Every structure is written in C-alpha cells, then in structure tokens.
Amino acid sequence: MAFATASNPIAEEGIALNNSSFPWQLVIDRGKILDCIYDNKFFSLGAILVLESLPRRCELASDRNGRWELLPETELLAWQENVKQQAMQREATYIGKDPITEEEARLIRYVRRVKAQAEKEN
C-alpha cells in the first residue's frame, strides 16, 4: 500500500510490471485487473498515490478495473495531517539523511527550547 508506511510520506514506488516474476494470477479476474496501474507500476486496492498534485486512492470500479479516485474531504484532511506528523517525526530523528541517536535528539530539543525561550525574553 502506498501511504504512510513508505519511507516517503507521499507515495511508495509500487511494483514494477516489467519484472517477469510479477504474480498476475493474483490480480486478474476474468481478464480484468483488480488493482491500479500507474507509470508502468502496480498498486493494490486502497493504495494512495499523489497524482496531479492531489492524493488519489486505488478503488475498484463497477467494471472490476482498478481506477484512481479522489480522496473524500475527511480522508484528505487525515492524509495531510499524517504527512505533517511524519515530517515532524523525521525532523526529530534525522539530520539530513542520517538518523540520529536518542541522546542527539534530546540535545537538539534542548537547544531549540533554550533558543525559543531566549527569543521570547528579548
């Protein structure tokens, strides 16, 4: 599922279709693909991907083909909040691409708190 479980909070890569080991028998029913394809990659039902700058979810249409549909307003808000939380979590535990230890994170939080307090006093 392409969503917050990915290392990228926006979208997971999906499964490349040009790999000969792709298990088509699991996703084709009477000639219909039961999931979504985008950019020559396979995404399961319920996967969320950013298309045209908006997140879309892979849903099953009435003709049993997967298609990308806009998220309802409530789910869009929840998705945006999830992205913000992941960004904050990543900021708190990484410097650039390198993970930091708990002690380093504690020191950074302390320095930020002291800086904010000094700014309030001035």
- Please identify, among 53, 71, 89, the residue that sits at the C-terminal boundary of a domain: 71
The answer on pLDDT for 58 being more than 80 is yes
Task: Indicate whether 114 and 88 sit together in one domain.
Answer: yes
Q: How many domains does the chain have?
A: 2
Least confident segment among 21-25, 31-35, 71-75 = 21-25
Q: Is residue 32 part of a domain?
A: yes
Residue-number span of the structural domain to which 101 is assigned: 74-121
Dihedral Cα 70, 62, 11, 91, nearest 10 deg: 60
Using pLDDT thresholds of 50, 70 and 90, give the confidence band for residue 54. confident
What pLDDT shows up at residue 13? 64
The answer on pLDDT for 39 being more than 60 is yes
Specify the higher pLDDT residue, 104 or 114: 114
Specify the higher pLDDT residue, 102 or 91: 102
Amino acid at 116: A
Burial 27-60 (b: 16+ CB within 10 A, else e): beeeeeebbbbbeebbbbeebbbeeeeebbbbeb
Task: Indicate whether 66 and 78 sit together in one domain.
Answer: no
Q: Is residue 46 part of a domain?
A: yes
Q: Is residue 10 part of a domain?
A: no
What pLDDT shows up at residue 6? 37
Q: Nearest to residue 89, comparing CAs of 2, 3, 9, 1?
A: 9
What pLDDT shows up at residue 41? 82
Quote the mean pLDDT of the chain. 77
Q: What is the mean pLDDT of residues 28-36?
A: 75
Using pLDDT thresholds of 50, 70 and 90, give the confidence band for residue 2. very low
The whole-angstrom separation of Cα 74 and Cα 76 is: 5
Q: Is residue 3 part of a domain?
A: no
Structure tokens at 58: 């892979």
Q: Is residue 31 part of a domain?
A: yes
Strand pairing class (41-43; 36-38): antiparallel
The whole-angstrom separation of Cα 115 and Cα 109 is: 10
Task: Indicate whether 80 and 114 sit together in one domain.
Answer: yes
Q: Nearest to residue 14, comparing CAs of 5, 25, 1?
A: 1
